[in-house]
Chains A and B, each alone.
Chain A
Amino acid sequence: MAMKLLFVEDDHAIRTMFSAALVAEGYEVFEAATGEIGIELIDTHAVDIAIVDLRLPGISGFDVVRALREKSNIPLVILTAQGDSHDVVAGLEAGADDFLMKPIAPKELAARLRAILRRVNHPAIETDKSQEIIIGRIAIRPTAHEVFINDTAVGFTRTEFKVLVELGSVSPDTVTRAGLLDCVWGYDYLGDTRLVDMQIYRIRAKLEPHGLSDKLFTVRGVGFKLLP
């Protein structure tokens, strides 16, 4: 089945060109020229991934990311101009899972999307992680994409879920930042560690109401571990 992709970009030529390239890669692409259209489309179509250009007329890319994140747990990728570091940080804070720098070639874009979708949507495929993982009061069911804390279902985004699975499957051992970057995002050592730190921050925020935020422990200079 074709992956459904939402592409929010105001520049007609860029939108058309990337759409053509992504359709050729086998995606079903929903184009949105404004943030408003993008937010509408996510209600009517079950998309698997969304790409949002941050510089949009009308409501800003950051607000679009925030609105999409409220409605959906799919991977959100932002497009930003190279060097605009504050845009990256603000975009990740708004709820994006990854970022791409413009200018980017269609082939690069397609490759990145493939890497994200494969890892995030099928956390159980690559290794034998289909078994339910129970760490203290946290139960993770990889095949069903479900997390129970104190027997209550808690919503995690695809990326948060994948990070949690990685941490849970080796608990109480430590997973390095580089390790998480590799197995969740498909980046090597040069990947941006802010991606990891932001997801850890979000997961902690979700553990906090259950009094478990200190179970997700930072190992200084190495990475993170999930304690029972």
Chain B
Amino acid sequence: MITNLTLRSKSIAVGCIIAIAVSTVASSATYLTARQYLLRQRESVAVAQSYVAARLAARNLSDGETGLDALLAATGVLSGGRALLQYNGAWLVSGVGVSETDIPAAIRNSLELGKPSRQRVVIDSLPTIFTAIPIVEGTTPTATFIGIVSLQELQRTMIALRNALFLGSALAAVCGGIVGWWLARRVSEPLRRISEAAELISTGNLEVRVSEPHERDLAKIAHSFNAMTESLKARINREARFAAQVSHELRSPLTVIRGATELITSSRDALPLRAQLGADLLDERVASFEKILTDLIEISRYESGVVVPDLEVRQIEPLVRALLAHNNIDETLLTIDDSARGANVLVDVRRIEYSIANLVSNASLYAGGLTGVRVDGDDATVTIHVDDAGHGIHEAERQRIFEPFARGLQHSSVEGSGLGLAIVAEHVNAMKATINVSTSPEGGGRFSITLRLGEPL
């Protein structure tokens, strides 16, 4: 169960326990020592007072005063104490609440032997000191004086001290808890920030850094974390730059190869038969090579995060008609719902052109042909649906198909870079639009791009 607690709760608990333990030991020691010392102190004062009182009583008795007078005079010395005087075989009492029956047995015993003695007993739950002093005239014992001093004051002091110590212990426990919480916070706060930063990084944000705390050990962790993120970012950037660089370097020679191929094929008829075959193969392959390269450059630009779309507001109807015309698609396949007619949408023309071209070409290459392009809209969006004659895309596959090379190698016989849908997804995302895969009303596949409405310039 303990292992399930958070670092913070554990620290608080440990802080409290340590504080309670330390303060309990310290308070107990203080209490016991103080009690011992004060008791002894009070006891010796009581004994000394009793002796003074006994001496006073003895003098008064020898002066011929009555036993009671001598007792009362002596009791005055005991500052609030009481006294007993055994004189002429009878016990005289200085006040109510005490009688000879209260005299402890041990004192009686020592008195019988004619020895002074003292003892601490509890009367009415108050510690009380009995000091018994035989009064001797010459060698004859004439009386016995017993001073009874209650330690009520001391008891009160001890209770006050105990309460103070208890309060102190409680306070120490609370402080211990606070210290534990504070220490835990100092440790866990930077850790929490690091874990949040790690989560952000896992979502692709490589700009996140954590501030370094004052504690050296934690600062070291934060520093290492930042260094790791920095090198991760540098590495990703390096790879993206490398891909972009390679693509750019390939583009120039490819431009030349494509142009040169065109020059050759433009005078194809003048070539020998074998050279004509070579020219045809070259012509065919250069086109697909160029498509792959252009796609690679495009995706590497997204990977390196340098893409800024050129968003502008266009009318949906002429836009879609022009898109279809560019892809040589018969206008009879187009249906524009009244809900979309006259709408203006926010698009990057080059990106929507690529996306629609890719979707309609996929429809004819992989899904039995295009069955329709339908446009509809609502208050905030316009959606272009591209429907095909295929079997649709299985639910489980719908997310995966937007990943690079998702079609795998089984389709390598068909022209395409394997990056098309991944680029479409990036393009759509860059335009703050969305793309969805579903089933067309006829049961075929349907790709839908939902564009945001825009205010015209």
Contact with A along B292-320 (1 / 0, CB 8 A): 01100110010000011010111000110
Instruction: State which residues 345-385 of B face A: CB under 8 Å.
Output: 349, 353
Residue from B254, B318, B321, B353 with most neighbouring chain A CB atoms (10 Å): B318
| Among B259, B314, B319, contact of A17 (Cβ-Cβ < 8 Å) | B259
Q: Indicate if B322 sits at the interface (CB-CB under 8 A).
A: yes
User: What does the 1/0 interface line of B415-457 toward A look like (CB < 8 Å)?
Assistant: 0000000000000000000000000000000000000000111
Cβ of A223 to closest chain B Cβ, rounded Å = 10
Stretch at the interface among A58-66, A100-108, A125-133, A141-149: A100-108
Complex interface residues of chain B between 252 and 311 (CB less than 8 A to chain A): 252-256, 258-260, 262-263, 266, 290, 293-294, 297-298, 301, 307-308, 310
Considering only CB atoms, which chain B residue lies closest to A178 in the complex?
Answer: B318
Given contacts A17-B263, A190-B323, contact A220 B456 (CB under 8 A): yes
Contacts of A209 in B (CB 8 A): none
Residue A193 CB within 8 A of the other chain: yes
- What residues on A are CB-neighbors of B456 within 8 Å? 220-222
In the complex, A21 has a CB within 8 A of chain B: yes
| Contact A18–B259 (Cβ < 8 Å) | yes
Chain B residue numbers with a CB within 8 Å of A190 are 319, 322-323, 326, 349, 353
Is residue B29 contacting chain A, with contact meaning CB distance below 8 A? no
Determine chain B's interface SS by DSSP, over half rule: helix
Closest to B294 in A: A82
Enumerate 16 A-B pairs (CB-CB under 8 Å) in ascending A order.
A13-B256, A18-B259, A21-B263, A82-B298, A83-B301, A83-B307, A103-B251, A103-B254, A178-B318, A188-B326, A189-B314, A190-B319, A190-B322, A218-B457, A220-B457, A221-B344
A80 to chain B, nearest CB (A): 12
List, in ascending order, chain A residues with CB within 8 A of B254's CB: 103
What per-residue 1/0 map shows which CB atoms of A129-168 lie under 8 Å from chain B? 0000000000000000000000000000000000000000
Which size bracket describes the interface of A in this complex? 20 to 34
User: Known contacts being A14-B259, A20-B263, A193-B312, is A82 close to B318, with CB within 8 Å?
Assistant: no
- Chain B: minimal CB distance from A191 (Å): 8
Q: How far is the CA of A86 from the CA of B248 in the complex (A)?
A: 17
A81 within 8 A of B: yes
**In the docked arrangement, what's the CA distance between A188 and B319, Å?**
10
- A155-210 contacts to B (CB < 8 Å): 178, 188-190, 192-194
Query: Given the complex of chains A and B, what is the CA–CA distance between A106 and B286 in angstroms?
Result: 14
- A106 engages B262 (CB within 8 Å): yes
- A-binding residues in B (CB < 8 A): 248, 251-256, 258-260, 262-263, 266, 290, 293-294, 297-298, 301, 307-308, 310, 312-314, 318-319, 321-323, 325-326, 344, 349, 353, 455-457
B262 adjacent to A107 (CB under 8 Å):
yes
Residues of B within 8 A of A24 (CB): 263, 266
* Partner of B259 from A106, A192, A218 at Cβ < 8 Å: A106
> Judging by beta carbons under 8 Å apart, are B322 and A85 in contact?
no
Asked if A21 and B259 sit within 8 Å, CB to CB, the answer is: yes
Evaluate whether A13 and B253 lie within 8 angstroms (CB atoms) in the complex, with A21-B259, A83-B297, A83-B301 already known. yes
- Residues of chain A within 8 A of B262, CB atoms compared: 21, 105-107
A189 and B322: CB pair below 8 A? yes
Q: Given the complex of chains A and B, what is the CA–CA distance between A19 and B293 in angstroms?
A: 24
Contact with B along A71-114 (1 / 0, CB 8 A): 00000000001110110000000000000001111110000000
A81 to B312, CA, bound (A): 21
Shortest beta-carbon distance, B257 to chain A, in Å?
9
